Amino acid sequence: MTVLLAKAAAMALAQHPVVNASCKDGKSFTYNSNINIAVAVAIDGGLITPVLQDADKLDIYLLSQKWKELVSKARSKQLQPNEYNSGTFTLSNLGMFGVDRFDAILPPGQGAIMAVGASKPTPVADKDGFFSVKSKMLVNVTADHRIVYGADLAAFLQTFAKIIENPDNLTL
């Protein structure tokens, strides 16, 4: 699931490049041409964020293989600096542990981080008032508002939701 979320985020970032921006020194802003998704991974003694380089350009299969390799290297403490310090956007998925919602802390220099909660069956009503049960997950984004405004985040989240709700798009 983490790879699908990373791919969906990368696809949404391609459409909303301001959310992929960064500020390394507190003064100058960079609009990154690469979409490098850093993903939080628990390791003995802490946390590290291996980076899926150019996540928007890789298909799900290659992204999945790269992710398995990065997690293995992270857990054996063999990541190279460019494999954990080159993220342009971070994804933290505590949903895999059953956590419904949480707030993620923005890594220094990055413009935004996305916190993803667990997918849960939820009763919903359609426009005609008919009820059904759909899987829903809570997602929120913490951002540096010197770089990214709330309206930009809202547009990014709408695009992300459309991609997740239509997963066929993830295989293109």
Tokens of 169: 């798009």
Cα dihedral: 75, 13, 63, 33 (round 10)? -90
Residues 77, 134, 145, 146: which is the catalytic one?
Answer: 145
pLDDT at 39: 95
CATH code reported for the domain at 2-171: 3.30.559.10
pLDDT, mean over the chain: 91
Q: Is a pLDDT exceeding 70 seen at residue 121?
A: yes
**What's the pLDDT band for 172 if we cut at 50, 70, 90?**
low
**140, 141, 150, 92: which is closest to 112 by C-alpha?**
141
Average pLDDT over residues 149-169: 91
Q: Is a pLDDT exceeding 90 seen at residue 65?
A: yes
For the chain, the domains span 2-171
145 included as an active-site residue: yes
Residue 112 or 135, more confident: 112
